[in-house]
Amino acid sequence: MLHFEPNNKKAQYELNVVRKTLAESGGQKDDKKMGRRIQIEEVDEPEEEAMPPTKTTHPPATVTTPPRVKQEPPPPLCAPIQAIKDEGNQLFRAGQYGTALDKYTNVIVALRSQGT
């Protein structure tokens, strides 16, 4: 159980930070069930008792998207290479990723040997 002076803004802020962090990390929100301890010490310096620092605001970022370039579809594969690629697709859909990878590798090797 955490006790602090009702007018201690710094302690209230720190408690809220801890609760937010626990909530974001999937921790429990009920203080009695948290099983964690926090110690907040009284600070005599007035600047330490001030409200937490405000977030620095930055100007909004400028996002530019490159113009879309219409790409032509790749040329069709020859029948034997297309058949190997289709086998790889079937194996991939069936969850046989290693065997599918071997098929895709064979397709790449065949295309490179053709100079494509």
Q: What is the pLDDT of residues 33-85, one digit of tens each?
A: 555 666 666 666 555 555 666 666 777 777 788 888 888 888 888 999 999 99
Once rounded to an integer, what is the mean pLDDT over residues 9-25?
Answer: 77
Are 51 and 16 within 8 A, CB to CB? no
Once rounded to an integer, what is the mean pLDDT over residues 92-98?
Answer: 94
* Cβ count within 10 A of residue 88: 21
Residue 89, H or E segment: helix 79-93
Q: What pTM was estimated for this model as a whole?
A: 0.39
